[in-house]
Amino acid sequence: MSEKEIIIKMAAEAGAKAALETLEMERNKSIKGRHDRRLRNTKLLLKNYRVFKKHRDNAVYRASQMDESAIDILDLMWDPHNSQEMKVESIKKSAVRTSIIMEHIDEMVGIYKVICSNSGKAEIERKYRVLYAMYIADEPTTAEKIAKSENIDTRTVYKDIDAACDKMAALIFGVDWLTKE
């Protein structure tokens, strides 16, 4: 092999190695981004839990109410010349999606409660209570009130919420969360 061919081969290998490293860094960034989005989405779902609950409980359209006559009534509303069609469809989809998501969250909060209760660790049990008090309980409360009732520092309340949200994200998103992909 000539000196020129050796240099070309070395350059190609270095370029391929650099490309693979860049690709791996981008992949890791993408995985971390999805992980971060799921955690952020979990926190948003929990922070807005009470609002979503009111939406679900007060929505005019409910999936459980949908029977053939309701479908016929909604079909009558779908006048192709009516600009309101998209608004009605959006309301219908929103009500159904919110209801499904809320059922899922309620179920996962219940599972999280059982997991925490069965842990036998006061700190883990507290994390459920903190999460519940902050986001799920009917009456909103503050981190300061939670800290006082749990006899912990306010910073610990936020640390508990972060840890609980991490576990809740795993429950809400399942394997997608655990593999962080």
Tens of pLDDT, residues 39-55:
888 899 899 999 889 88
Residue 162 resides in a domain: yes
Helices (H), the chain: 3-47, 49-58, 68-77, 85-119, 122-131, 143-150, 154-173, 175-178
- Spatial CB neighbours of 69, under 8 Å, sequence gap ≥ 6: none
Lowest mean pLDDT among 21-25, 68-72, 87-91: 68-72
AA identity, residue 39: L
Residue 144 resides in a domain: yes
Residue 7 resides in a domain: yes
Q: Which domain holds residue 131?
A: 3-51+101-178
Structurally, the chain folds into a number of domains equal to: 1
Q: Return the pLDDT at 58.
A: 81
Residue 68 resides in a domain: no
Q: Return the pLDDT at 157.
A: 97
Residue 110 resides in a domain: yes
Q: What is the pLDDT of residues 104-130, one digit of tens each?
A: 999 999 999 999 999 999 999 999 999
Q: How far is CA 78 from CA 72, 73, 74, 81, in A?
A: 10, 9, 7, 8
Residue 75 resides in a domain: no
Residue 77 resides in a domain: no
Residue 92 resides in a domain: no
Q: Return the pLDDT at 107.
A: 94
